[in-house]
Amino acid sequence: MLDLNESFGMRGKVALITGAASGIGLGISRFFALAGVSVAMLDINEEGGGKAKGVVEGDREFFFCDVTDSSSCVTAVEGVLSRFGRIDILVNCAGVARRNDVVGLDERDWDLALNVTLKSVFLMSKAVVPYMKAQGGGKIVNIGSGWSLKGGPMAISYCAAKGGVWNMTRAMAIDHGPDNINVNCVCPGDIDTPMLKSECEQLGGTYDESYKEECAQRPIKRLGTPEDVAKSVFFLCSDMAPWVTGSSLVVDGGGIA
């Protein structure tokens, strides 16, 4: 009989997850830790990270990291290696949404969105990939968006950043496949998180049940949850996806179908 726990091969692995103080990053951290993965939770929000660590059950540790700064990324990775001894999985989840069009968007918000959402994937991967190569391989999942694959209104910086995450994923898969490193992208739709609330308020809305019902207008008629995304990330990081690389997995309840 097939033993799925053995087939997934995740128990005892070490995962580094950015943007882990809230939202999707926290959801992935919780799901992975419950499944027996040791989790390194990285975020710039130290207070939020401490609280997030408190709701994650299992082997986990919080590390401060400014994912837009190369030295901070290197320091955090060294801390993870000191604590856990290895890094089997990197989940690049940190992101910022600043909702506006190309005329209305402030240049500082453009830089913030691109640096946190896209540059961070470069910096964290640059810091982690050499260790994965030395240990014989690993799994990287970059968190994109449905708007990695199509445009969206009043979201010029977000679409640019998430589109870059998707194409960067493909380039990394080509470069590091020979190193036994799988690189994939998970593209969520609207997920019930503090970021979605922030986007709603930036556009002048109220994050209430009426707004959530609008977001749920898709074939599977509900908002997504961080756990919905975590399950897909878990699959791509597991031994059940050994020949999957350079791919995008859309997790949006059919929103862009």
Query: What pLDDT was estimated at residue 28?
Result: 98
The continuous run of DSSP H or E covering 108 comes out as helix 107-114
Please identify every residue annotated as catalytic: 158
The pTM score is 0.97
* Domain region containing 118: 13-190+227-251
The rounded average pLDDT for each run of 10 residues, N- to C-terminus, in the chain (257 residues) is 86 98 98 98 97 97 98 98 98 98 98 98 98 98 98 98 98 98 98 96 96 95 97 98 98 97
The pLDDT value given to residue 136? 98
Q: Is 207 among the domain residues?
A: no
Query: The dihedral of CA 70, 71, 73, 74: what is its sign?
Result: positive
**183, 91 Cβ separation under 8 angstroms:** no
Residue in the block written with tokens 């791919």: 247
Is residue 199 situated within a structural domain?
no
Which token pair is 133? 């190569």
Question: How many beta carbons lie within 10 A of that of residue 109, not counting itself?
Answer: 18
Residue 166 located in a structural domain: yes
- Kindly state whether residue 21 falls inside one of the protein's structural domains: yes
Classify 228 as helix, strand or coil: helix
CA 26/CA 194 separation, integer angstroms:
11
Q: Is residue 240 domain-resident? A: yes
Spatial neighbors of 256 by CB under 8 A, at least 6 apart, are 146, 149, 150, 189, 250
What pLDDT, on the 0 to 100 scale, is given for residue 5? 77
Identity at 143, one-letter amino acid code: I
Number of domains present in the structure of the chain: 1
In a domain? residue 53: yes
Q: What is the CATH number of the domain that holds 152?
A: 3.40.50.720
For residue 3, being part of any structural domain is answered with: no
In a domain, 202, yes or no: no
